């Protein structure tokens, strides 16, 4: 019996005993970093490296011209013509040319020419050189890219806007109308105003009404007083029975 039990419990040849691995967790860390002393914190804050601000690239901003370049003879002639154009015109509009071909430009000029509006081409360099040194300096931001000028001796805003609506390649940027700088929306609002003749008629009508009303108010009291006096005279006359001696007899 004992031999049989021993045979059962003894490991057989080639048999590997059952093994079980137990993984133990790491020990919890109870040590913490000590806080830095206040004096050391101040010293670190004072001696902290602050890098200098990064400089802008050389081509980020346009370089200022240190010396004023002299105008060429052609540029002087163009500036003279531009000055005369600004002095003789009551309406000067700046329009951006968005890649319109020659045929579209001819049609655009023809529509404006019927209303006495001319299309003028000047280089932006010449225009900016003239505008910055004149009373029209606020128009300088309008001359960006390919631009043309629409000039007229009279303020024909409605006709100009009608021609611009027919040419979608041309975009209105702003205008100077009777020495007043207007944006594109301001030009549209200006076109909705009544004409000077209508405004003058309304003004004369209003002044006439006020004058007539004032005259009637001034004549009202004397006329009322005159009517009262006439009524009093009629009441005191003998035909009206106003004599007290006749009434007593």
Ordered per-residue pLDDT tens for the chain, 249 residues: 555 544 555 555 555 555 555 555 555 656 778 888 999 999 999 999 988 888 777 776 666 554 456 778 888 888 889 889 988 889 999 999 888 888 889 999 999 999 999 999 998 888 988 888 888 888 888 888 889 999 999 888 999 999 999 888 899 999 999 888 999 899 998 888 877 777 788 788 888 888 877 877 877 888 888 888 888 888 887 765 545 444 444
CB within 8 Å of 100: residues ≥ 6 apart: 108, 167, 169, 170
- The pLDDT score that the predictor gives to residue 149 is 92
- The pLDDT score that the predictor gives to residue 247 is 46
Q: Helix (H, G, I), strand (E, B), or coil: what is residue 242?
A: coil
Q: Name the CA radius of gyration of the chain, rounded.
A: 49
Answer positive or negative: Cα dihedral of 191, 195, 200, 203: negative
What does CATH list as the number for 73-191?
3.30.70.1730
- The pLDDT score that the predictor gives to residue 11 is 52
With CA atoms as reference, report the closest residue to 188 among 174, 202, 167.
174
- The pLDDT score that the predictor gives to residue 161 is 92
- The pLDDT score that the predictor gives to residue 69 is 62
- The pLDDT score that the predictor gives to residue 24 is 54
Going from N- to C-terminal start, the domains of the chain cover 73-191, 194-233
Q: What are phi and psi of 172, to 5 degrees?
A: -75, 125
- The pLDDT score that the predictor gives to residue 229 is 83
């Amino acid at each position: 019996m004992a031999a049989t039990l021993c045979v059962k419990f003894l490991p057989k040849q080639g048999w590997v005993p059952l093994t079980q691995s137990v993984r133990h967790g790491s020990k919890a860390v109870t040590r913490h970093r000590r806080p830095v002393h206040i004096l050391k914190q101040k010293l670190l804050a004072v001696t902290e490296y602050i890098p200098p601000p990064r400089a802008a690239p050389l081509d980020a901003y346009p370089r200022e011209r240190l010396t004023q370049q002299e105008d060429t003879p052609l540029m002087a002639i163009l500036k003279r013509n531009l000055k005369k154009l600004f002095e003789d015109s009551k309406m000067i509009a700046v329009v951006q040319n968005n890649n319109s071909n020659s045929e579209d430009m001819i049609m655009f000029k023809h529509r404006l020419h019927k209303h006495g509006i001319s299309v003028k081409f000047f280089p932006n360099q010449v225009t900016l050189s003239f505008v910055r040194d004149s009373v029209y300096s606020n128009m300088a931001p309008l001359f960006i890219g390919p631009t043309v000028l629409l000039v007229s001796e009279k303020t024909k805003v409605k006709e100009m806007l009608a021609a611009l609506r027919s040419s979608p390649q041309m975009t209105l940027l702003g205008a100077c109308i009777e020495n007043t700088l207007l944006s594109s929306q301001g030009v549209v609002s200006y076109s909705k105003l009544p004409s000077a003749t209508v405004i003058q008629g309304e003004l004369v009508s209003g002044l006439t009404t006020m004058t007539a009303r004032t005259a009637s108010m001034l004549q009202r009291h004397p006329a009322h007083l005159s009517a009262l006096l006439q009524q009093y005279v009629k009441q005191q006359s003998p035909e009206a029975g106003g004599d007290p001696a006749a009434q007593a007899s």
